[in-house]
Structure 1
Amino acid sequence: MTRYLIQRIGFAVLILFSLSVFVFVLFFVAPGDPARMIAGDKATETQLAQIRSNLGLDQPIYVQYGKFIAKAATGDLGFSYRNQQPVTELIVRRLPATISLVIGGVIFWLALGIPIGIMSARFPGGFRDRLGQGFILLGLSFPTFVLGMLSLYVFYFLPRKAGFMLFPPGGYKPFLDDPVTWAWHLFLPWTTLALVTAAIYARLTRGKLIEVLGEDYIRTARAKGLSEAKVVYKHGLRATLTPLITQLGADIALLLGGVIVIEQIYGLQGVGALAVQSVRNLDRPVIIGVVLMGGFFIVITNIIVDLLYAVLDPRVRGA
C-alpha cells in the first residue's frame, strides 16, 4: 500500500513538472517578447523594463525557470498587469463560486444518475430500462448551453412574466452570508450540470452492472437465497464502483478547472469565467495561473482516486 502510494505521488509530481515546463516554454521561451505579451501592447518602455527585471528575463533560461517554479510552488502565480492584482488573489476570489457549483452538481448527478442506471440494469429490456435509456439519450443529446437557456426560460422568464420569481437568473451569493440564498441562486446551475452529466453515470452504471450481474459469483449468491436487493447493492454495485470513481475523479478535476459554459450562462463569476475573460484580454499571467491550477486539481484528484482504489480493491493494498 505504501509503495503504491509513493509511486502514484511520484508520478503526480512528474506530471506537474511536465506541465510547468510546457507552460514556461510556451509563454517565456517561444518567439516574441514575454514582457510585451504579459503587459500588453499599450505598455510603456518603463513598464516593460520593470517587468523584464521582475521576471529576470535577462538571466539564463534555467534560472528563469527555477524562479518560475519556485514562485508557483509557494502559491505565487505571477501578477496581472491588466487587473493590477496578483494572479493568486484573482483565482482564489473566483474559486468559491466554481467549487460551490461543482459540489452541488456532483451530489445532484450522483443522486440521479446511479439510481437510474441501477433501475435499467435490474430490468434489462423492460419498460423501466427503456425509460432509463430514454433519459440517457436525452441527457447525452442536449448540449449544456441549450439546457441552460431552456431552464432560464422555463424557470425564470416565464414565472417573471407571470408576476412572480421562482428562481433568480444567476449570480453567486456567498454561502456564509446566507446559505438559503446561496442554494437558491445555484439551483438552476446545479440541475443544468447534473442533468447532462447524470446521463453519463446512468449509462456507465447500467453497462457495468449488467455485466457484473451475469458473473458466476452473482448466480451463486442468488442460489444461496440472498434477496435480489442484497445481490444488487452489496455484491453487484460494489464491483461497479471502480469505473464510477474513475469517471468521477476526472469530471471533478476538469470542472474545478472552470465550468466555462454554465458559468457564462448563469453569470457565475467563477474560474471558468475568469479564464474566458483572460483569453479575451490576452491576460497571459492569469491564463498561466488557471492552467497550472487546473493541472494541480487533476493531479490531486487522481491521487484521491488511487487511494479509493486501494480501499476498494484488496489487491492494490497488497501491492
Structure 2
Amino acid sequence: MIRFLLSRIGFGLLVLFLLSVFIFVLFYVTPSDPARIIAGDKATEALMAQIRANLGLDKPIWEQYLIFIGNLLQGDLGFSYRSSLPVADLVLARIPATMSLVFGAVVLWLAIGIPIGIASAKRPGSVRDRLGQGFALAGISFPTFVLGMLALYLLYYLPTRFGVNLFPPSGYVPFATDPLQWAWHLALPWLTLAMVTAAVYARLTRGQMLDVLGEDYVRTARAKGLTERRVIYVHAFRSAMPPLVTQLGIDIGLLLGGVIVIEQVFGLQGVGALAVTSVAMQDRPVVIAVVLLGGLFVVLSNLIVDLFYALLDSRVRTRAQ
C-alpha cells in the first residue's frame, strides 16, 4: 500500500514539475514584456530596464526558471502587477468562496444524481427510468449560465416583485461570520451547479449499475435470499463506484481551480472571478498562480481517487506491488 501511494505521489510531483515548465515557457519565454505592462506605454527605457532588473528578467532563462521554482517552493508567488499586493494573499482570500461553492454542490449533486441513477437501473424501461433519463437529458442540455439566470429569475426576481425575499441575488458571506447567511447566499449557486452535474452522475450511475446488475455474482446474491436493498447497495453499487469516484475526482479538481461561470453569474468573489479579472488586466503573476493552483487541485484529487481505488479493489494494490 505504501509503495502504491509513493508511486502515485511521485507521478503527481512529475506532473506538477512539467506544468511549472509549461507555464514558465508560456509566460516568460514568449515574446511579451512584463515591464511594459507594469510601466505603461509611455514609460522610459531607463524605467523599464529598472523594472526588468527588479523582476530578474535581465538574467538568463535557466536562471530565471531556477528563481521561479525556488520562489514557488517557498510559497512566494510574487506581487500583482495591478494592485502591488502579494499574489498568495490575493489567491488565499478567494479560495474559501470557491471551496464552499464546490463542496456544497458536491453533496447536493451526489444526493440527487446517484439515487436517480440507481432507481432508473433497478427497473429499466419503467416510468421511473424514463423520468430519470429525462432529468439527465434536461440537465446535460442546459448550459450552466442559462440555469443560473433562470434560478435568479424564478427564485429571486419574481418573489422580490411580490415582496418575498427568498434568496439573495449575489455575494458571499464567510462561514465563520454567520453560518446561516453563508448557506443562504450559496443556496442558489449550489442548486445551479448541482442540478447540471447531478444529471451527469445520474446517467453514469445508471449505466454502471445496469452493467453490474447483470453479473453472475449479483444473481448468486439474489439466489442466496439476500434482500434487494443489500444486493443493490452492498454488492452492486460497490462494484459500480470506481467510475463514479474517478469522475468525482476530476470534477472536484477542475472546479476548485475556478468555477468561472457560476461565480460570474452569482457575483461570488472566488478563484474563477479572480482569474477572469486577472486575464482581462494582463496581471501575469495572478494568472500563473491560478493556473498552478488548478493543477495542484487536479493532482491532489487524482491522488485521492487512486487511494479510494486501492481501498475499493485489492487488485489495484496487488498490481502496484
Q: Percent identity?
A: 66
Q: Distance in 2 between matches of 1:270 and 1:140?
A: 24
| 1:203 to 1:38, Cα distance in 2 relative to 1, 3 A | farther
Aligned counterparts, 1:74-85, within 5 A: 74-85=74-85
* Deviation, structure 1 residue 309: 0.9
**Matched residue SS, 2:269:** coil
Partner of 1:56: 56
Q: Distance in 2 between matches of 1:163 and 1:216?
A: 59
* Deviation, structure 1 residue 279: 1.1
Aligned counterparts, 1:158-177, within 5 A: 158-177=158-177
* Deviation, structure 1 residue 33: 2.3
Offset from partner CA, 1:62-84 (integer Å, 9 cap, x none): 11101101111221112112011
Partner of 1:184: 184
Matched to 2:102, the amino acid is V
Offset from partner CA, 1:187-234 (integer Å, 9 cap, x none): 000000000000000001000000000001111111111111110000
**Matched residue SS, 1:72:** helix
Aligned counterparts, 1:280-319, within 5 A: 280-318=280-318, 319=321
Partner of 1:230: 230
Q: Distance in 2 between matches of 1:217 and 1:38?
A: 66
- Contact 2:81–2:284 at 8 Å: present in 1 too? no
- Contact 1:257–1:271 at 8 Å: present in 2 too? yes
**Matched residue SS, 2:168:** coil
Q: Distance in 2 between matches of 1:248 and 1:28?
A: 34
- 2:26 matched to 1:26? yes
Q: Distance in 1 between matches of 2:43 and 2:98?
A: 32
Q: Distance in 2 between matches of 1:146 and 1:24?
A: 36
Q: Distance in 2 between matches of 1:242 and 1:47?
A: 57
| 1:219 to 1:262, Cα distance in 2 relative to 1, 3 A | same
- Contact 1:55–1:64 at 8 Å: present in 2 too? no
Segment of structure 1 superposing worse, 24-33 or 139-148: 24-33
Partner of 2:257: 257
For structure 2, the residue ranges without an aligned partner over 5 or more in a row are: none
- 2:89 matched to 1:69? no
Segment of structure 1 superposing worse, 53-62 or 66-75: 53-62
* Deviation, structure 1 residue 41: 3.9
- Contact 1:117–1:202 at 8 Å: present in 2 too? yes
Partner of 1:133: 133
For structure 1, the residue ranges without an aligned partner over 5 or more in a row are: none
Segment of structure 1 superposing worse, 130-139 or 49-58: 49-58
* Deviation, structure 1 residue 240: 1.1
Partner of 1:3: 3
* Deviation, structure 1 residue 43: 5.4
State how many pairs are aligned: 319
| 1:46 to 1:264, Cα distance in 2 relative to 1, 3 A | farther
**Matched residue SS, 2:108:** helix
| 1:38 to 1:126, Cα distance in 2 relative to 1, 3 A | farther
- Contact 1:259–1:271 at 8 Å: present in 2 too? yes
* Deviation, structure 1 residue 58: 2.0
Partner of 1:221: 221
Q: Distance in 1 between matches of 2:43 and 2:170?
A: 36
- 2:151 matched to 1:151? yes
Segment of structure 1 superposing worse, 206-215 or 38-47: 38-47
Q: Distance in 2 between matches of 1:14 and 1:40?
A: 38
TM-score of the pair, normalised by structure 1:
0.97
* Deviation, structure 1 residue 32: 2.8
* Deviation, structure 1 residue 313: 0.9
- Contact 1:37–1:284 at 8 Å: present in 2 too? no
